[in-house]
Chain A
């Protein structure tokens, strides 16, 4: 078992089940903004699949059963149904039977066909997260996505029929994008009445093709003040259309459609990440795997855990994480977390006056404005 010294007792945090994540690090081509770990050498998929199965076995007892499974990437939808079937056969025994586990698959619109959709459903996948990003061809090509706007719509139509729990990823804050154009995208997405929407602001990371273009001065990013406008606009628009803004970038048509898996990250519920580059969290430990398919597979071939690094969080670090993750969510942070110092109370009162938080039933909840500055809020306590 690698002897890596992770806590061996299975921990259920306040009766919550842990979550299981599998990183599928393959894409047909790299998007211009992408800083996720993924490669285009698809011939390595069989090796990866074998290794993930081995890795899952290493942790069989450590976490207990999981009630969510998230197949993320990369592009999990480029796996064949057969490959997915192999994977799920290994993972299904790790999941609880009741309540019904949430099983999410991230899909690229190009990979969505009636046949695939049926196959995914047959495997028990019950939530589809579709990487639409935009409904404008020029934006999609700027982002370096492989699909086109027509592909987005077709995929949405098909998925809508096949899945009762559909989530759509969109991206805003692209250079030159107007607020009007963005609202148009939102409207198009709403036509399909998705249960869940993730609206991410484009962030240009160093080392990505977009990052290089930007430092070469080939485009100017959105002014910071505008970022705030887009954020508030999105929040207002979607809430008006019946979506709850429950996390900085996430919206759901009612709380039963919250992304159960992702919530575990924000609530510090234990999670196990399988696959290259995946992170895991248990108790006060976090560890992460090699960001290399080759090294990952090699470690598992010799029965070792493919762990590249780990950290043990101190009380203070855990608290800081609780705060900054909490202030990202509608739920907020428990008042008792902030108590103790008179300085903290003074801050709270000021923040309420400034319209950044509301104190309700023992919780300090960020307002829409407050969510926008969640990091600053966390640092005040």
Chain B
């Protein structure tokens, strides 16, 4: 099993490289077998299509080349250099006696990196287009040699509603992804390997490539950054484990309770709980924050009834705050798992219950021996998704405590801060972008490992094709 999987991953890599070799071969073969018009397409993209009557296609390739060349000459080449240097001229203030001091603009490392990454993406797109152009020229030549009629614009266009419909479907979403997810993410990942922190802010000053320096600082046992990272990571994991487990078990109990045979008004009960999912979290959680305030209504009522003489620091004492977020998270999370497990509980084969009842099993034993194993088995992937979701559970922490109470020995973090809320604070409050990115990469690695375990082992991933 294990061996197979490793082998299949290697073969995946091999296929990846084989694809490159294939493309290179295609170039060679086309050059050998192509006629002059096809060969000219190597330099003048779209030439082969254009002279053989496929005007629209030819023009598209030709214009792509033209746009690309103009862009590279005017701008692109410079940004490719910029991504290496990240700027050399620092901005400074020229003070000539007797005149108003003047700011002499230097390089802006941030923009240079951003444009550099964008240019790299553009180059990748151009290389792909270039290969399409070559193979399209060869195809046109072959078709003409065989005496076939070349597909015109209308036929080709119709293809995009049929055999190539996936291109039509995916072009817009993929462009959206490239612009708003891939480009920003590549940019931010690269930032983790620079010193773009609060003391290196463009345009005032430059930042540079620093390799793994940020990660070393983050993982070090000494130093304020490492002294924050490890405790925050520890709390993140603790939080995720407790939050996931408690929500899951209690949600399931609630589902069992509502789905109990004799209980009526099931829809009404469910609706009450579903309401807490429906109310926007910034409303419900901000409200909870104020309810749990030192001078808020809960403390007010407790003191009014004489249950406590002083306020309880629900959100201002580290231990209390950690407990409070876990408890409030139950309010938010139980209805979700109730909804999910409800569906599953109804799908448990009735025979299982009946057999157990005949054998004289108590309700508790029934729950631990039948329901729990069955539901855990079916919801395994969901459980792991929930765990990852809790590691990234920004809203509950940020809206309730804002990460506080602040840890005095921490850098920009509090006692209830998760990695993601710390990341957010570093981004927004202090602009320590390189630290923030490094933390983001850590969160990614944690999620990636967990997801690999979850997805690779599920049947639906392995046997996707047979399932359909």
Do A and B pair up? The answer is: no
Identify the B interface with A (CB < 8 A).
none
